[in-house]
A and B are shown apart, each in its own frame.
Chain A
Amino acid sequence: MSALLEISGLDAYYGRAHILQGVGFGMGRGEVLALMGRNGAGKSTTMKAVMGLVPPARGEIRFDGQRIEGREPFEIARIGIGYVPEERRIFSELSVMENLSVGQRPPREGVPHWTPERLFALFPNLGRMRDRPGGAMSGGEQQMLTIARTLMGNPRLVLLDEPSEGLAPVIVEEMAKTILALKGEGLSILLSEQNLHFAGNVADRAAIIEKGIIRFTGTMAELKADEAIRAQYLSV
């Protein structure tokens, strides 16, 4: 079975700054992969490059065997990649229901079909505030909404950019449960994370990025066992 997402030799720039320098890793179907590294290492940029939001200068991105680099974000979203940005980017003047409807796409074969009702079962809080404007929600609720909004597109792969950042510990626990539940539905998830504990709870494998270069790939268990790698690339 071929990989679901396969990145190789990916280069990306912001102006003159060379952010990604030959990033390459792959992930399989149904897998949760944690892309780890410090602030500014290139985690978000990798996700944006996959999504087409930052144009890759060089390299290949294959999704399900198909090359997608250089395509427009909306095309990439339509072939089944969902993006949950770090800053959440909720439409603050739209209600919860309206936020969900922006994300809505037709059902896709072979992946769960999400409706608002199914999502409210997953995120009961959201179901209680359907008409509330996005701007009037707490950070945790917004984080739930931004995931739900992306799921409305019935993606095969979800890019989750730092889902635990800035959330209260209780909500982080909830977030971990949610990710495991989504994995249970058969969803593949690429998640960027700084928190080793959180990543260890939800991810199967990990890739470590530093200064735009992938330094480690392996299972979560291998990473936990390798003190030196952790000290070198993850400790603050």
Chain B
Amino acid sequence: MFDLILTQTLNGLASASSLFLVASGLSIIFGVTRIVNFAHGSLYMLGAYIGWTLVTWLGPTSGLGFWGGVGLAALLVAIIGVVIEVAILRRIYQAPELFQLLATFGVVLMIQDIALATWGAEDKLGPRAPGFKSFVILFDNRFPTYELLLIAIGPLVLALLWFLFQKTRWGTLVRAATQDREMVAALGVNQRLLFTSVFAFGAGLAGLGGALQLPREAATLHMDLSMISEAFVVVVVGGLGSVTGAYLAAVLIGILHAFGILIFPKITLVLVFLVMAVVLVVKPYGLMGRRPVGAARGTATAEPLLRPADRAAKLAGLVALILLAAAPLVTPDYLLLTLTELVIFALFAASLHFMMGPGGMASFGHAAYFGLGAYGAALAVKWLGAPMEPALIFAPFLAGIAGVVFGWFCVRLSGVYLAMLTLAFAQIAWATAFQWVELTGGDNGILGVWPSHWAVSKTAFYYLALAICAACVVLLRVMVFSPLGYALRAARDNPLRTEAIGIDTMRVQWVAFTIAAFAAGIAGALFAFFKGSVFPTYMAIPRSVDALLMVLLGGVQTVSGPIVGAFAYAGLSEQLMKMTMYWRFTLGLSIVLLVVLFPRGLVGGFLALRERRDRSDKDGAVVTRLATEGAP
């Protein structure tokens, strides 16, 4: 028993090292640039692939070939980091957080296809490290020496980072910039250079993590997203911006994994979730994290006011609804299928918008609730033998209950912490569907989720979907302009003031979170019956990003934006998929271009244009009134 505990502990420590390298890089980059680098997992993956190529090329049998290859891979990834920072991120430091996150997600998509085109779809088995191929016997167990080396590398890098940050001028500047970038600039420090160097450094750490992992496991095209979600968990548990916290959390998660696989192989991720939950309840900003300095929202501009629809907008909505209702009379069958899908996605996007726009809570894992709705419907059909109607009613409750549970944790955080946490929860939901084969069929999904007899025809199902989705969207709209909606917006704009007038902001946000989850569940359940099957991909990260893109494309600041966005985006991605095999690259590139060209979003860009025009019109004494109110 004792030897088992020992070897599993060592296993956990060994896997913690790479996780720590990636997470600390993520944390350092966030500290200085305030950008959550979604592409950090991709840099880790690139480290592994480039390492594989270099080591193979330099000769995996010689020590110089292996270690040289690993070192060079880290360096190359750092250079790739410079390219990403200079070409993309540098242009969007002023953009809203969400757009920055989206841009880095665009990079994720691009790197996925670049890796696919360069290294192919097959896994690349890593070379063993020369000099570390043997085992040591520990309590009658053979333990690979390479694992021991990895265990040593973690604390070594931690010590190195400590030295770098405490004892060098660069480190001092980085720490100062983490606290107040503007002041650092006002003292004569070139921020651009500092940001680029920090990004390169963080990227290099991720690349090193990937390359070092090679002798343990193969390089695959999936390692980017699985790493980034674990790194998010580590950063949230350890405390954003704390390198020591990241190490502690990486060790904790690593060991948890090692033992989890031994004891409950099916629910390792749930175990991780439980630990994260406990940590966040006790310390909302992580083990070593601190409450973000000041409640001020910095340079963010105020959100434009949401207005109830005027007569013209109501009329336009009605016309759109009539057109949609009349569509089956004229459109061919395949178009009707596309329309059904679009209608369902419009509800999905509207549900995300409800928590993101008025609620100010950006979810990076909204697909979890969509997927849970779909699985709820499928499970009801498969295990309870329920027909469509009760299944459709049952399914959203599964999503809603998950919303109650996950939401309870999420509303305790805000901004990027919240976004990371939602993503981590979505990964857990995804992994549960993927791993719990007995219940969900795992990767094979659940088939035969067909609608009731009356709704089998394409036209009938279309009308069913349209009726439910339109009703839900209108209901969500009504809620935006209800007292709940006002309280929600108040909590978004000024939480302290809102609490001071007697509104329990957390509770309001929790309710909104649950409503959004429930509505997404309805969309998911419809989707399950529409497709006739459910798969774990319904909950995967790309689907969450789909929803985000729809909302952002249409404009977070408008109520009808997500619906327009859903139609625009779903149409676009379908066309892309038809046109090119490398649709991910194309999609990623379009996201990046969109963000770089319109750093304040489409609607924001329009508003800024209008404001500039207004200003030159009214130049003079009219606006001085504002000066006395707004001047600090």
Residue ranges of A at the interface with B (Cβ–Cβ < 8 Å): 13-19, 21, 40-42, 44-45, 51, 53, 72-74, 77-78, 83, 85, 89, 91-94, 98-99, 101-103, 105, 149-150, 153, 211-212
Contacts and interface: CB of A to CB of B under 8 A. Distances in A.
Given A74-B189, A77-B187, A16 B626 contact: yes
A89 B180 contact: yes
Given A17-B630, A212-B627, A153 B172 contact: no
Interface of B: 169, 172-173, 175-176, 179-180, 182-191, 301-302, 611, 614-615, 619, 623-624, 626-632
Contact of B187 (A19, A41, A150): A150
A9 to B, nearest CB: 13
Nearest to A97: B172
Contacts of A92: 179
A18 B614 CA distance: 12
Contact of A102 (B176, B191, B619, B624): B176
A53 B186 contact: yes
B179 A91 contact: yes
B183 A89 contact: yes
Contacts of B185: 72-74, 77
Contacts of A101: 169, 172
A92 B183 CA distance: 12
Contact of A18 (B179, B189, B623): B623
A44 B627 CA distance: 13
B301 A40 contact: no
A77 to B, nearest CB: 4
Q: Output the residue of A51, A74, A98 with the most chain B CB within 10 A.
A: A74
Pairs of residues from A and B, 4 with the lowest C-beta to C-beta distance, nearest first: A17-B630, A77-B188, A17-B626, A40-B631
Nearest to A79: B188
A153 to B, nearest CB: 5
B632 A51 contact: no
Given A74-B191, A212-B627, A13 B615 contact: yes
A105 B185 CA distance: 12
Contacts of A153: 187-188
15 contacts: A15-B301, A15-B302, A16-B615, A16-B626, A44-B632, A73-B182, A73-B185, A74-B186, A78-B188, A83-B186, A94-B176, A102-B172, A102-B176, A105-B188, A211-B627
Say what secondary structure dominates the interface of chain B. helix
Contact of A16 (B172, B623, B628): B623
Contacts of B615: 13, 16
A149 B179 CA distance: 16
A45 B172 contact: no
Nearest to B194: A74
B624 to A, nearest CB: 6
B405 to A, nearest CB: 35
Given A44-B632, A91-B180, A101-B172, A77 B186 contact: yes
B173 A18 contact: no
A150 B187 CA distance: 7
A91 B302 CA distance: 27
A105 B175 CA distance: 18
Contact of B190 (A42, A44, A74, A150): A74
Nearest to B623: A18
Contact of B627 (A19, A51, A105): A19
Contacts of B627: 17-19, 21, 40, 42, 211-212
A94 B630 contact: no
B168 to A, nearest CB: 10
Nearest to A103: B187
Contacts of B619: 18
Contact of B175 (A16, A41, A89, A91): A91
Given A16-B623, A91-B180, A92-B179, A40 B628 contact: yes
Nearest to A57: B615
Contact of B172 (A41, A78, A98, A150): A98
B187 A149 contact: yes
A53 B179 CA distance: 17
A211 B172 contact: no
Contacts of A212: 624, 627, 631
Contacts of B184: 102
A74 B188 contact: yes
Contacts of A77: 185-188
Contacts of B175: 91, 93-94, 98
B626 A18 contact: yes
A93 B179 contact: yes
Nearest to B630: A17
A83 B624 CA distance: 27
Q: Which of B187, B615, B626, B630 has the most CB of A within 10 A?
A: B187
B549 to A, nearest CB: 28
A170 to B, nearest CB: 27
A40 to B, nearest CB: 4
Given A21-B624, A89-B180, A91-B176, A45 B632 contact: yes
